[in-house]
Amino acid sequence: MKTLPARFISAIILSILFFLTAFSLIGVEHGTTSVWTDVHIWSGSLMLIGAAVHLTTKLDWVRAVFSRPSKSLNLQTRRNKRTDLGLFITGSLCAVAGFRWLFNPLHHLNHLHTMSGIFMLLLMLPHLALHWQWLVNTIRHLFGVKPQTNPVAQIEN
């Protein structure tokens, strides 16, 4: 087994924490136990740390992309820029409202936390789609699997 790059480790940990945080809401919303609330709080807090680590591994890309006008970027990078900016904004709103709500449970903070969390969850779908090929290639490389050849191209030859 090969060594994992820091960017891959932070992306995987962040994804696991993100989905654990989101899925723990099922237990919280149905009022099953306070354990789900604790899971949501802890996984959300760890997700913030994971997001900070993930962001620092991509700092050069962030600086390069956000310092250029969008018109000078290719379509994929423009989509990635918008999606990442949306994730940053919704994630920040969700985190701030969530921490404030912990210490002062006002209804509007809970609503802001919930709505920004839903938008963040929705933005994760295009984010994963934009990075899907990188994820697949990295996992294949990690396990030493060679890229698959195109079966149609083999038939034509």
Residues 84-120 have pLDDT tens digits of 999 999 999 999 998 888 888 777 888 898 899 889 9
Q: Is the pLDDT of residue 39 over 70?
A: yes
Q: Select the more confidently predicted residue: 139 or 25.
A: 139
Those residues whose C-beta lies under 8 Å from the C-beta of residue 135, and which sit 6 or more positions away, are 11, 128
Stated as kind and residue range, the H or E segment containing 118 is helix 107-142
Give the residue carrying structure tokens 């306070």: 34
Gyration radius of the chain over CA positions: 19
Residue 2, helix vs strand vs coil: coil
The pLDDT of 55-82, averaged and rounded, is 91
Distance CA 134, CA 27 (A): 33
The pTM of the full predicted model, rounded to 2 decimals, is 0.76
Q: Given pLDDT bands bounded at 50, 70 and 90, which one contains residue 27?
A: low
